[in-house]
Structure formats: structure tokens, C-alpha cells
């Protein structure tokens, strides 16, 4: 379960990075060159989109990397990443896999017990 959480977290982070690059670039493009009515319009909260585009993928990759050694912390980071991507970008065709992978990786990491002990984190 920890290996699955690691893989899902890293994949979610890489997908989230692509969304973050494009969303940051889109908001910057609109700031520099202005809106085209009914075609290219600025998002409601630019800072939230930029913050989510930067930190949510970082949390997913860090959580995935921690999933083997510190599964509870890694799982919490991946769940926070899924929440951050959902709040910043909403759930749509471009975000469904990064959000789902990050959330599933977080659940798997939290559900995983320590590999050499029969007890879980709690």
C-alpha cells in the first residue's frame, strides 16, 4: 500500500504541475495583455489559483515521497494536496486524475500500517 501511495502521489504531483504551469501562465497572460470578452477572461481569484498551482503539486510529490517512511504524514500531505487542487481549480476534465490520484494515495498511505509491525499509525 505504501508503494502504491508513493506512485500515486508522484503521478498526481506531476499532473498537478502541468495544471499549475498552464494556470499560472494563463493568469499572467491575461494580466499582461488583457481580456478578450467572452473568450479569455480572468479568473475570480488569481492569487488562489497561483497558490494552488504552486503548492498543491508540491504537497502531492512530498507526500508521495514520504509515503514509505512516514505514511501518516505523507497521507495527510496528499489529502491536503487533493483539497488544494479542488479548491483552486475545481473538479473538471483536467483535474480529475491529479485530484483522484492524490486523494487515493493519501487514503492508502493513511490506511497502511508499519511494514514490520502489526499495528497501524494510531
Phi then psi for residue 40, to 5 deg, are -125, 110
pLDDT tens per residue, range 42-58: 999 999 999 999 999 99
The Cα–Cα gap between 71 and 27 comes to 35
On whether residue 85 sits in a domain, the answer given is yes
Q: Is residue 21 in a domain?
A: yes
- Does residue 37 lie in a domain region? yes
Q: Is residue 119 part of a domain?
A: no
Distance in angstroms (rounded) separating the CA atoms of residues 29 and 113:
46
* Parent domain of 86: 2-111
Residue range 28-87, pLDDT digits in tens: 999 999 899 888 999 999 999 999 999 999 999 999 999 998 999 999 999 999 999 999
**Is residue 113 scored above 90 in pLDDT?**
no
Please, where are the H alpha helices in the chain?
2-33, 46-66, 71-89, 96-111
Query: Does residue 43 lie in a domain region?
Result: yes
Contact between 80 and 61 (Cβ < 8 Å): no
Domain count, the chain: 1
Q: Distance between the two ends of the chain, CA-based, in angstroms?
A: 17
Cell (9 digits) for 84? 488544494
Distance in angstroms (rounded) separating the CA atoms of residues 85 and 63: 14
| Helical axes 71-89 vs 96-111, angle rounded to 10° | 160
Residue 120 lies in a domain: no
Q: According to the model, what pLDDT value does residue 38 have? A: 86
Q: Give this prediction's pTM.
A: 0.89
Whether residue 117 is contained in a domain is answered as no
Amino acid at each position: 500500500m505504501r508503494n502504491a501511495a508513493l506512485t500515486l502521489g508522484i503521478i498526481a504531483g506531476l499532473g498537478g504541475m502541468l495544471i499549475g504551469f498552464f494556470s499560472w501562465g494563463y493568469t499572467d497572460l491575461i494580466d499582461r495583455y488583457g481580456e478578450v470578452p467572452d473568450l479569455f477572461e480572468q479568473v475570480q481569484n488569481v492569487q488562489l489559483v497561483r497558490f494552488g498551482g504552486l503548492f498543491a503539486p508540491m504537497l502531492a510529490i512530498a507526500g508521495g515521497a514520504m509515503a514509505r517512511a512516514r505514511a501518516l504524514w505523507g497521507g495527510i500531505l496528499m489529502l491536503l494536496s487533493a483539497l488544494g487542487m479542488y479548491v483552486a481549480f475545481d473538479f473538471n476534465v483536467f483535474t480529475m486524475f491529479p485530484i483522484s490520484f492524490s486523494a487515493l494515495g493519501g487514503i492508502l498511505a493513511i490506511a497502511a500500517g508499519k511494514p514490520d509491525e502489526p499495528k497501524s499509525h494510531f
